[in-house]
Chains A and B, each alone.
Chain A
């Protein structure tokens, strides 16, 4: 054991429609003996060596009303979730899989779709800001490199929006009319 690493840091992309893939990947890390201990806002994960085990990870997008955030985090804590950190819009929660309690944070499709709608609202606002900058700010249009960066960003955000919309449509289809 001497000399073996006891912590590791990993950097990963997290795209807004890949949250469930990320949850599964984190659970796999725990299964192979790496517990997530820290989440940094720019994508760095810190893991610590631990006995291999089943951990449930869930990523949520908290409500935007700051006033209500305390209640939100209290409810998750009461329900057995540990907050590991924030990254962008995401909150990372974890719980021991063996505690026999509810392992989902969303137990109906409608509220799950709500999570993606909050992402959509954020992406929409960003796109609107960038789009309006391109439209009304002459500096953006005059400077070629700036305009190019804006165009790339705008295209990226539009692509993100389409992917999130497709995710929502998938969830609605899965609900089969009851959502």
Chain B
């Protein structure tokens, strides 16, 4: 029952913007802000590069929405950084969105084939 509630709560956040999806996906493991920035750039093959102000605003917003939470710290002294992690709600949201995108990717592959070869 709890899981059901979580899923319906999560559904209200869909669809996600591309950058929100990539930020949440990066947080499949806890990371600090700059770690998220790097991961998003790597997994998108350099296509999505987030500015520091944009990422900071997105993180604040996602914390307010309770999709992510602050999750301790890493490093020592001036290298000490706050780490972010997904909440159960955030996990549900990114999971549902991943499934939705996978379904769409299937349709995309199909339509590409029907339109002849995908050039």
Measuring CB to CB, which residues of chain A are less than 8 angstroms from any residue of chain B?
A: 60, 63, 68, 71-72, 74-76, 78-79, 81, 102, 104-108, 111-112, 114-115
Contacts and interface: CB of A to CB of B under 8 A. Distances in A.
Interface residues of B, number: 18
Given A75-B56, A79-B34, 18 more contacts: A63-B57, A68-B60, A71-B33, A71-B82, A72-B56, A74-B82, A75-B34, A75-B52, A75-B55, A78-B33, A78-B37, A102-B51, A106-B53, A106-B54, A111-B53, A111-B54, A111-B58, A112-B53
What DSSP secondary structure best describes chain B's contact surface?
Answer: helix
Interface string B51-89: 111111110100000000000000000000110000000
A28 to B, nearest CB: 22
Interface of B: 19, 32-34, 37, 49-58, 60, 81-82
A63 B57 CA distance: 8
A60 B51 CA distance: 12
- Among B32, B33, B57, B81, chain A packs the most CB atoms within 10 A around the CB of B57
Contacts of B37: 75, 78-79
Contacts of B54: 105-108, 111-112
A78 B34 contact: yes
Contacts of B53: 60, 76, 105-106, 111-112, 115
Nearest to B18: A108
**Which 10 pairs of residues, A with B, have the shortest CB-CB distance?**
A78-B34, A105-B53, A107-B51, A111-B54, A75-B33, A79-B52, A111-B57, A105-B51, A104-B51, A102-B49
B60 A63 contact: yes
A157 B50 CA distance: 33
18 contacts: A63-B56, A68-B60, A74-B82, A75-B55, A76-B53, A78-B37, A79-B51, A102-B52, A104-B51, A105-B52, A105-B53, A105-B54, A106-B51, A106-B54, A107-B49, A107-B51, A108-B54, A111-B58
